[in-house]
């Protein structure tokens, strides 16, 4: 290889590794292991959700009716789009296309931002409808009518899971946005080459994981009401 | 012991300790060996805190009506004793101190896979510790380290949220350490170091790391839900609001049972290293011992229900958890037999590390066998919630894990500090600890079967004699723990300088200087022999 | 076998068998501990290092030995498992005809109610030689009912019933402990089980204060809460008749069939919409918070009595 390539090869090699290949393998294994821990983390929450849904099926159906399925569906499309742009940014890094890399990272951030904006609107709606457990719980009118068939006593539990699950997901997205910003700044400083773009891959995997969590959340929270 | 001399430091070769000076070089270090020492200081601090709570408890229990504090205070003492000892001492101890120091050396690498994550995990541990200390100072917590609902979520008005945050945060320290070890062992082994040439300590750290990575996140989410429930009273664990208190117990024990294997597997790894070295023999049944570590890690995830036999859960669930709990004992028994067989036709010396390792085997055997009483449904009904449980887990965690930790510290101290400690005092301390430990905890088995429940701030007078015996033993144990603290600190300044391999042990860590240079090895070693190549045909000189 | 020095009295029908198992476990523990200790001790001395450069020959392992010391522990734990599980299973259901007593745990006391209406705090009088079934619930946090002399223990949970049974074999007074940490005075939540000769027990029962049995008290609560308004005896009301219901299967609107046990009865009062009887609408209001645990227990005792009555014939057309 040329001197420039050799230099590029060694740029970004951390001192504890023998070569870039070892470093890349270690980074890949590291992020996959981290994602496994995230699966266990969300898994506990999903397990609790499953148990309460089995116990209070009517309440969960009723609660699901309060959510706006169109917003949820739109957000799903937005997030899937952001995974596409994320994958394209990894591809750009692989091919050494700095401009495209930055563009796609920014696009991912924009789509992520839209998702969070819609979420914020939805959260606000819950306050408007007074279905926030413990903080603002006083459902009335149409909302009350939707929740009653399932039994009002335990509807708070459904909304607790709504806020806990989407809130934890949103927190992960916000962290992801921070990571994306970091990547954008590094990319603009030419930190990445076709030989070294592990941080982009790692953040990419993280972002895809956060997307997949939403793919589970959407049906479990929005679609179980079943009234389309 | 010759007259102590101040070894002149000015001619000491460059090593990781003197490579750089100043607080910044320690607090911003990326060197796994320095990070291990940061952990060593912090966990010793928490051990002293947790131990002080224990001393207060044992003094208090000398009298049936309680000799020292109000019941509410006693309840806070046992809660914080448990939380501090488990989360801030036992779980990090061997992995974060010995593991961090040794894993890169043993695999023949220059550092762990992710040194920055390693430093981050220490800071995370410290922040978690600060939250917990805050909760102790700001009024304490009185829920028991098990935080059962609805008491902890709805009824207790102590610092539940603060300590929940502390435990939640510290969990991530555990996760990152485990992640680092798994990647390092998979990807950074020196040329020639195949899986079955690895020292058993690495197998133990690997199995432990699997549990840390898979189990700790479940604790995190459980504590997170508990904190939300405590703050917002939504009802997820409170029956008055439609929740299920037993759901908390299932989620909690799903982590906390594997957690006990996080605490014991590393100690077993240490014991393998020590026995091999001080019997000068390869561990008998090496592969079996390696596999049994992994088996314990896997089976350990399947037995959590044995903490809930008397909760009114289905008899059939009880039967399944009982059967699995019996099965998880088998790999541990296999290890004990293999260690014993290693001594056969060995060449055994009685140095302090060996005394700790042998103490471990004896006490772990007893503690493990008393676990059978608890896996057995019919006897567990009588014994659950009594001092029998307390005795059982202290035999394993103190008689086992702490002795393993101390044995490891004594074994690798010359490598870590570059100094040797007085062997006579070390041996005396080991014996005092062994005796004091048994005096403290054996009476508790009897107390348990007689029916004295645990977590009692006062008790019927008929239990007093055994309680006094236990407290007397605790005094001896406390003295035993102080002695190593003294001579190990002393040795850092006045101990004789250690050679690279003072014990004549095999293993890559002994092939570099004591203490090692920052980069661990001048050149990455190439491994050509099996682990524990002590036998004449395997010995490469010496 | 008599109980050994370090065991509590054996005062129930199961105590002896539990102690026998315990004795076996102790023997196994002592045997293997002694075995390991002595082998190690022996090896330590016999194979002590005699010269600094000594290097023993390598011994890789021994597959037959591994099989042996895997098989033997497996066999031993299998024996323990079968023995213990059989004992546990046999002891898990109370014999028929057990005397039913209600226990309510609350921070930090035990409240006991006999079916005849006799109430006790922190004490439980029982007759000798009669199986006693305790139906227990908590008013607040998790407690645990533990009688060492009987070798019985069961957690007591809020919001549901747990049961425990025993048959006392000795007259006397025995410790009752709470064995699940429940807050500040957990250690003070102790009491006594007082076992009396049957005739003494009868006279104790008769000498007590309230002349009202749980069933009678429950009937009063039933009336006062307005239950008869909907639960007409012939089943034509807005709610199903309760005659002949307790202990029998009930068909629900979901198609499921459940047994009308204590838990079902309790749930139907505090969470009526959870299970709707086939042919009826979910209109019953909840009585959560309007009845104390004691009142709930009394109503259930009354419903048990109604369960023994013959159901009145229903009209045709109403399913």
pLDDT in tens, B55-77: 999 999 999 999 999 999 999 99
Same domain, C108 and C191: yes
Choice among A61-75, B319-333, B373-387 with the minimum mean pLDDT = A61-75
**Residue B485: which pLDDT band, with cuts at 50, 70 and 90?**
very high
**Whether residue B14 has pLDDT greater than 80:** yes
Q: Half-sphere exposure of B149 toward its Cβ, with a 13 Å CA cutoff?
A: 31
| C14, part of any domain | no
| DSSP SS3 for B455 | coil
| Minimal CA separation from C286 to chain A, in Å | 10
**Residue A10: which pLDDT band, with cuts at 50, 70 and 90?**
low
User: Which element (helix H / strand E) includes C154?
Assistant: strand C152-156
User: Cα–Cα distance between C46 and B348 in angstroms, integer?
Assistant: 9
Q: Half-sphere exposure of B459 toward its Cβ, with a 13 Å CA cutoff?
A: 25
Same domain, C142 and C197: yes
Mark out the alpha helices in B199-314 (DSSP H runs). Answer: 200-232, 245-279, 286-299
Task: Give the largest Cα separation in chain C, rounded.
Answer: 101
User: Cα–Cα distance between A115 and A75 in angstroms, integer?
Assistant: 6
User: Cα–Cα distance between B464 and B461 in angstroms, integer?
Assistant: 5
Given the structure tokens 């009688």, which residue do they identify? C147
Strand ordering across the sheet containing C131-138: C119-121, C109-113, C99-106, C131-138, C162-167
User: Cα–Cα distance between B111 and A26 in angstroms, integer?
Assistant: 13
Nearest CA in chain A to B245: A48
Q: What is the dihedral of CA C29, B257, C147, C207, to 10 degrees?
A: -170
Exposure letters A142-159 (e unless 16+ CB within 10 A, then b) = ebeebbbebbbbbbbbbb
**Whether residue A4 has pLDDT greater than 60:** no
Quick check: C286 contacting A, CB < 8 Å? yes
- List Cβ neighbours of A25 (8 Å cut-off, separation of 6 or more): B187
Same domain, C159 and C240: no
Choice among B199-203, B407-411, C138-142, C226-230 with the minimum mean pLDDT = C226-230
User: Cα–Cα distance between A226 and A58 in angstroms, integer?
Assistant: 12
User: Cα–Cα distance between C55 and B504 in angstroms, integer?
Assistant: 11
Mark out the alpha helices in B284-351 (DSSP H runs). Answer: 286-299, 315-343
CB contact under 8 A, C177 and B369: no
Q: How far is CA A128 from CA A131, A218, B539, C199, in A?
A: 8, 22, 78, 68
Mark out the alpha helices in B344-402 (DSSP H runs). Answer: 352-375, 377-383, 387-394
Choice among A124-128, B258-262, C214-218 with the minimum mean pLDDT = C214-218
* pLDDT score at A227: 63
| C31, part of any domain | no
Q: What is the dihedral of CA A158, A162, A168, A169, to 10 degrees?
A: 140
Domains and CATH numbers, chain B: 27-511 (1.20.210.10)
What is the DSSP secondary structure assignment for residue B19, as one 8-state letter? S
Given the structure tokens 């570099």, which residue do they identify? B512
Picking from C151, C183, C207, the residue at the C-terminal end of a domain is C207
Same domain, C221 and C202: no
Nearest CA in chain A to B254: A44
Same domain, C150 and C235: no
> Phi and psi of B75, rounded to 5°?
-60, -35
Quote the number of domains for chain C.
2
Task: Transcribe A9-74 into DSSP letters.
Answer: HHTT--TT-SSHHHHHHHHHHHHHHHHHHHHHHHHHHHHHHHHHHHHTHHHHHHHHHHS-HHHHHH
Exposure letters B27-36 (e unless 16+ CB within 10 A, then b) = eebbbbbbbb
> Phi and psi of B146, rounded to 5°?
-90, -10
CATH number of C267's domain: 1.10.760.10
| C293, part of any domain | yes
Determine how β-strand C99-106 pairs with β-strand C109-113. antiparallel
Picking from C207, C238, C268, the residue at the C-terminal end of a domain is C207
Interface of C with B in 247-286 (CB under 8 A): 271
Quick check: C183 contacting B, CB < 8 Å? yes
Interface of B with C in 250-279 (CB under 8 A): 279
Domain extent, residue C157, equals: 99-207
Same domain, C201 and C229: no
In contact, B505 and B532? CB cutoff 8 Å: no
CB contact under 8 A, B251 and A134: no
Q: What is the percent of chain B with per-residue pLDDT over 70, rounded to a whole number?
A: 97
Neighbours of chain C (3+ CB pairs under 8 A): A, B
> Phi and psi of C105, rounded to 5°?
-100, 140
User: Cα–Cα distance between B458 and B440 in angstroms, integer?
Assistant: 18
Same domain, C187 and C245: no
- List Cβ neighbours of C249 (8 Å cut-off, separation of 6 or more): C257, C258, C259, C260
* pLDDT (average), residues B258-269: 97
Nearest CA in chain A to C286: A153
In contact, B180 and B113? CB cutoff 8 Å: yes
Quick check: B127 contacting A, CB < 8 Å? no
* pLDDT score at B541: 44
User: Cα–Cα distance between B387 and B466 in angstroms, integer?
Assistant: 11
User: Which element (helix H / strand E) includes B438?
Assistant: helix B423-450
CB contact under 8 A, C40 and B333: no
Same domain, C237 and C300: yes
User: Which element (helix H / strand E) includes C102?
Assistant: strand C99-106
Q: Which of C141, C128, C239 is nearest to C181 (CA)?
A: C141
* pLDDT score at B2: 44
In contact, C91 and C151? CB cutoff 8 Å: no
Interface of A with B in 151-180 (CB under 8 A): 153-154, 156-157, 160, 164
What is the DSSP secondary structure assignment for residue C277, as one 8-state letter? B
* pLDDT (average), residues B478-499: 95
Q: What is the percent of chain A with per-residue pLDDT over 90, rounded to a whole number?
A: 68
Same domain, C184 and C157: yes
| C58, part of any domain | no
Q: What is the dihedral of CA B521, B522, B528, B531, to 10 degrees?
A: -20
Collect all residues of chain B within an 8 Å Cβ-Cβ radius of residue A45. Answer: 221, 225
CB contact under 8 A, C271 and A58: no
Q: What confidence tens digit (pLDDT) does each residue in B231-242 have?
A: 888 888 988 778
Same domain, C246 and C292: yes
C148, C262, C292: which to substitute to probe chain B, counting the most B Cβ within 10 Å? C148
- List Cβ neighbours of B519 (8 Å cut-off, separation of 6 or more): A15, B110
CA B219 to chain centre: 18
In contact, B89 and B406? CB cutoff 8 Å: no
Q: Count the Cβ atoms, other than its own, within 10 Å of residue C106.
A: 18
Q: Which of A210, A216, A219 is nearest to A60 (CA)?
A: A219
What is the DSSP secondary structure assignment for residue B396, as one 8-state letter? I
* pLDDT score at B11: 57
* pLDDT (average), residues A121-135: 92
User: Cα–Cα distance between B268 and B265 in angstroms, integer?
Assistant: 5
* pLDDT score at A155: 85
| C40, part of any domain | no
pLDDT averaged over chain B? 94
Q: What is the percent of chain B with per-residue pLDDT over 90, rounded to a whole number?
A: 92
Collect all residues of chain C within an 8 Å Cβ-Cβ radius of residue A153. Answer: 271, 273, 286, 288
| Minimal CA separation from C29 to chain A, in Å | 37
CB contact under 8 A, C286 and A58: no
In contact, A204 and A125? CB cutoff 8 Å: no
Determine how β-strand C123-127 pairs with β-strand C191-196. parallel
Tokens of C68: 């042996």
| C8, part of any domain | no
Q: Model's pTM, two decimal places?
A: 0.91
What is the DSSP secondary structure assignment for residue B4, as one 8-state letter? P
CA B350 to chain centre: 24
* pLDDT score at B10: 52
| C175, part of any domain | yes
Q: Count the Cβ atoms, other than its own, within 10 Å of residue B379.
A: 25
Q: Count the Cβ atoms, other than its own, within 10 Å of residue C83.
A: 17
Tokens of B320: 């399944």
**How many contacts (CB atoms, under 8 Å) link A and C?**
8
Q: What is the percent of chain A with per-residue pLDDT over 70, rounded to a whole number?
A: 93
User: Cα–Cα distance between A189 and A198 in angstroms, integer?
Assistant: 16
Domains and CATH numbers, chain A: 18-222 (1.20.120.80)
pLDDT averaged over chain A? 90
* pLDDT score at C232: 85
Same domain, C259 and C288: yes
Q: Which of B34, B13, B197 is nearest to B118 (CA)?
A: B34
Q: Which of C181, C137, C136, C183 is nearest to C159 (CA)?
A: C137
Q: What is the dihedral of CA B330, B336, B339, B345, to 10 degrees?
A: -110
Q: Which of B181, B183, B258, B275 is nearest to B219 (CA)?
A: B258
* pLDDT score at B289: 96
Instruction: Output the tens digit of pLDDT for each of chain C's 319 residues.
Output: 455 568 899 999 999 999 999 999 999 999 999 999 999 999 999 999 988 888 888 888 899 999 999 999 999 999 999 999 999 999 998 998 899 999 999 998 999 999 888 889 999 999 999 999 999 999 999 999 999 999 999 999 998 999 999 999 999 999 999 999 999 999 999 999 999 999 999 988 887 656 678 888 899 999 888 888 888 888 788 888 888 888 899 998 888 899 998 889 988 898 887 788 988 888 888 888 788 888 888 899 899 888 887 766 554 444 4
| C12, part of any domain | no
User: Cα–Cα distance between C269 and A184 in angstroms, integer?
Assistant: 61
Picking from C207, C238, C256, the residue at the C-terminal end of a domain is C207
Same domain, C244 and C303: yes
In contact, C284 and C240? CB cutoff 8 Å: no
In contact, B160 and B152? CB cutoff 8 Å: yes
């Amino acid at each position: 290889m040329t001197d420039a390539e050799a230099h590029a090869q060694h740029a970004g090699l951390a001192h504890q590794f023998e070569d870039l290949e070892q470093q890349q393998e270690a980074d890949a294994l590291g992020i996959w292991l981290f994602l496994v821990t995230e699966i266990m983390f969300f898994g506990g929450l999903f397990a609790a959700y499953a148990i309460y849904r089995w116990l209070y099926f009517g309440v969960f159906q009723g609660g699901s009716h309060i959510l706006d399925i169109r917003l949820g569906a739109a957000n799903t499309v937005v997030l899937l789009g952001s995974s596409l742009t994320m994958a394209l940014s990894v591809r750009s890094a692989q091919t050494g296309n700095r401009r495209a890399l930055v563009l796609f990272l920014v696009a991912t951030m924009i789509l992520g931002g839209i998702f969070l904006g819609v979420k914020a609107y939805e959260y606000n709606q819950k306050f408007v409808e007074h279905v926030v457990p413990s903080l603002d719980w006083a459902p009335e009118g149409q909302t009350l009518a939707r929740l009653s068939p399932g039994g009002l006593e335990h509807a708070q539990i459904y909304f607790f899971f709504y806020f806990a699950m989407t809130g934890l997901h949103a927190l992960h997205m916000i962290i992801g946005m921070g990571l994306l910003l970091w990547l954008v700044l590094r990319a603009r400083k030419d930190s990445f080459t076709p030989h070294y773009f592990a941080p982009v891959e790692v953040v990419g995997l993280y972002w895809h994981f956060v997307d997949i969590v939403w793919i589970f959340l959407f049906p479990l929270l929005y679609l179980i009401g079943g009234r389309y | 012991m010759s007259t102590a001399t101040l070894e002149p430091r000015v001619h000491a070769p460059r090593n990781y300790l003197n490579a750089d000076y100043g607080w910044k070089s320690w607090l911003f270090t990326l060197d796994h060996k320095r990070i291990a020492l940061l952990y060593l200081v912090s966990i010793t601090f928490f051990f002293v805190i947790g131990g002080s709570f224990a001393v207060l408890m044992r003094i208090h229990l000398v009298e049936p009506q309680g000799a020292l504090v109000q019941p509410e205070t006693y309840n806070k003492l046992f809660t914080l004793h448990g939380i501090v000892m488990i989360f801030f001492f036992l779980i990090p101890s061997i992995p974060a101190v010995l593991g961090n120091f040794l894993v890169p050396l043993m695999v023949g690498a220059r550092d762990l896979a992710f040194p920055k994550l390693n430093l981050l995990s220490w800071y995370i541990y410290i922040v978690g510790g600060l939250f917990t200390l805050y909760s102790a100072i700001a009024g304490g917590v009185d829920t028991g380290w098990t935080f059962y609902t609805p008491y902890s979520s709805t009824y207790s008005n102590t610092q539940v949220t603060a300590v929940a945050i502390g435990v939640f945060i510290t969990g991530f320290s555990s996760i990152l350490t485990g992640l680092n070890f798994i990647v390092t062992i998979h990807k950074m082994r020196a040329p020639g170091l195949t899986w079955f040439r690895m020292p058993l300590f690495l197998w133990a750290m690997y199995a432990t790391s699997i549990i840390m990575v898979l189990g700790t996140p479940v604790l995190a989410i459980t504590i997170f839900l508990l904190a939300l429930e405590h703050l917002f009273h939504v009802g997820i664990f409170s029956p008055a609001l439609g929740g299920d208190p037993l759901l908390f117990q299932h989620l909690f024990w799903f982590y906390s049972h594997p957690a006990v294997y996080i605490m014991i597997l590393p100690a077993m790894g240490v014991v393998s290293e020590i026995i091999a070295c001080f019997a000068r023999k390869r561990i008998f049944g090496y592969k079996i011992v390696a596999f049994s570590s992994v088996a314990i890690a896997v089976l350990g995830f399947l037995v959590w229900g044995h903490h809930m036999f008397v909760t009114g859960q289905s008899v059939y669930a009880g039967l399944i958890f009982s059967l699995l709990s019996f099965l998880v004992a088998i790999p541990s028994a296999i290890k004990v037999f293999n260690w014993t067989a290693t001594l056969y036709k060995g060449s055994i010396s009685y140095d302090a590390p060996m005394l700790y390792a042998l103490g471990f085997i004896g006490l772990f055997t007893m503690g493990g066998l008393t676990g059978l009483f608890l896996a057995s449904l019919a006897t567990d009904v009588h014994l659950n919630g009594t001092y029998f449980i307390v005795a059982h887990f202290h035999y394993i965690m103190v008689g086992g894990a702490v002795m393993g930790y101390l044995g490891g510290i004594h074994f690798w101290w010359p490598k870590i500090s570059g100094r040797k400690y007085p062997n006579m005092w070390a041996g005396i301390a080991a014996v005092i600890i062994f005796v004091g430990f048994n005096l403290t905890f054996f009476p508790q088995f009897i107390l348990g079967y007689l029916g004295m429940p645990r977590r009692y701030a006062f008790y019927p007078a008929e239990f007093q004699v055994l309680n006094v015996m236990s407290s007397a033993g605790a005094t001896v144990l406390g003295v035993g723990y102080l002695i190593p603290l003294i001579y190990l600190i002393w040795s850092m300044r006045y101990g004789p300088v250690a050679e690279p391999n003072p014990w004549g042990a095999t293993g890559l860590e002994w092939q570099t200087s004591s203490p090692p240079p920052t980069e661990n090895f001048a050149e990455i070693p190439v491994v050509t022999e099996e682990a524990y190549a002590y036998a004449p045909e395997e010995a490469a000189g010496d | 076998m008599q109980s050994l020095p370090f065991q509590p009295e054996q005062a129930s029908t199961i105590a002896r068998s539990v102690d026998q198992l315990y004795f076996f476990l102790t023997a196994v523990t002592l045997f293997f501990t002694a075995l390991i200790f002595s082998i190690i001790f022996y090896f330590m001395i016999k194979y002590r290092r005699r010269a600094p450069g000594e290097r023993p020959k390598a011994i890789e392992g021994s597959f037959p030995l591994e099989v042996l010391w895997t098989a033997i522990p497996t066999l031993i734990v299998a024996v323990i498992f079968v023995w213990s599980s059989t004992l546990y299973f046999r002891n898990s259901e109370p014999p028929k005809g057990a005397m039913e007593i209600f226990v309510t745990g609350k921070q930090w006391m035990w409240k006991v109610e006999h079916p005849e209406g006799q109430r006790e705090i922190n004490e439980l009088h029982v007759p000798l030689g009669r199986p006693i079934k305790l139906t227990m619930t908590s008013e607040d946090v998790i407690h645990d009912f533990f009688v060492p002399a009987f070798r019985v223990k069961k957690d007591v949970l809020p919001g549901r019933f747990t049961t425990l049974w025993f048959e006392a074999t000795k007259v006397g007074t025995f410790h009752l402990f709470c064995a699940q940490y429940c807050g500040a005075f957990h250690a003070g939540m102790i009491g006594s089980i007082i076992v009396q000769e049957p005739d003494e027990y009868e006279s104790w029962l008769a000498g007590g204060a309230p002349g009202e049995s749980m069933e009678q008290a429950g009937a009063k609560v039933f009336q006062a809460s307005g239950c008869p308004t909907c639960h007409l005896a012939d089943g034509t009301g807005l709610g199903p008749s309760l005659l002949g219901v307790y202990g029998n299967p009930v068909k629900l609107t979901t198609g499921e069939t459940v047994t009308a046990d204590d838990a079902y009865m309790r749930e139907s009062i505090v969470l009526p919409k959870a299970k709707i009887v086939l042919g009826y609408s979910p209109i019953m209001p909840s009585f959560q918070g309007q009845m104390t645990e004691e009142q709930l227990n009394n109503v259930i005792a009354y419903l048990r009595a109604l369960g023994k009555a013959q159901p009145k014939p229903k009209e045709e057309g109403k399913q």
